[in-house]
Amino acid sequence: MIMKPTDFSKALSHYLAIFLPGQRNVSTNTIKSYRDTFKLLLLYCKQDCHLSIERLCLRHIDRTLILGFLGWLEKDRNNSVSTRNQRLACIHGFYRYMQIEDPVGLLPYQQILSIPIKKTQTPTIHHLTPEALKLILEQPDPSRSNGRRDWLFSDTPRGARASATCYSLIETAKANGLEPYAYLHHVLQHIAAADTLEKIEALLPWNMK
């Protein structure tokens, strides 16, 4: 007996195979991320919800099931909050698409879309110690071509901008009669407390005399 495709199988196949690459022109890696999300969702439906994948319909997948799936990712598969949020973003993308394709199911789709992204802890940014900064500044040799190159390009565009900023501070300190290391050491000691424009301006090289 040939089993008829369900509304979920048809919608998901069209979304992954036609809508994303054809109408949204997303990358292969993005499509793979969506595909992997739904592979995991199908696995959860089969193993934990005891739903037959062959008979899985759109009406079976509601807010409660998706919340259970997200909890399963974190607890059973030890996924991070960031990974959980990435999977949820893929699911949200599919149900935003379904709002237009199947407005009859608008309410349950919007209930799924209302599931919030979890907040993640922002990692603490540790600043370099003056000793570490001095060591870094001593590495490029400006008297040699490769040393000047290291200062100029610094591996990446962001690195180049950071190096340019640092080098500009050093040269400006020199132009104002300051010893660069002592000046940068002073700035690192006081920048955290510079909570007003006036305090920040007070740390500029020409205001240090």
Whole-structure pTM value: 0.60
Distance CA 189, CA 122 (A): 23
Report DSSP letters for 114-178, one per residue. Answer: TPPPPP-PPPP-PPPPHHHHHHHHHSS-TTSHHHHHHHHH-SSHHHHHHHHHHHHHHHHHHHTT-
Amino acid at 54: E
Q: What percent of the chain has pLDDT over 90?
A: 50
Share of the chain above pLDDT 70, in %: 79
Q: Which pLDDT score is estimated for 137?
A: 64
**Rounded Cα–Cα distance for residues 159 and 124 (Å):** 20
Q: And the tokens for 19?
A: 């809508």
C-alpha to C-alpha distance for 69 and 44, rounded to whole angstroms: 6
**Measuring CA to CA, which residue among 8, 205, 199 is closest to residue 102?**
8
| Beta-carbon contacts of residue 61 (< 8 Å; ≥ 6 apart) | 8, 41, 45, 112
Span 71-105, pLDDT tens digits: 999 999 999 998 999 999 999 999 999 999 999 99
Alpha carbon 100 to its chain's center = 28
Please say if the pLDDT value at position 178 is more than 60. Answer: yes
Give the Cα separation of 163 and 161 in Å (integer): 5
Question: Who contacts 113 (Cβ-Cβ below 8 Å, separation ≥6)?
Answer: 92, 95, 96, 99
Higher-confidence residue: 111 or 190?
111
Q: What tokens appear for 167 in the block? A: 């080098």
Query: Could you tell me the sign of the dihedral formed by the alpha carbons of 31, 93, 106, 68, in that order?
Result: positive
How confident is the model at residue 199, as a pLDDT? 77
Domain boundary assignment for the chain:
7-113, 130-207
Task: Please give the DSSP secondary-structure letter assigned to residue 6.
Answer: P
Q: Which two three-digit tokens encode residue 48?
A: 């934990």
- Are 105 and 98 in contact by the 8 Å Cβ rule? The answer is yes
Between the CA of residue 200 and those of 29, 115, 188, 206, what are the distances in Å?
Answer: 44, 42, 12, 12
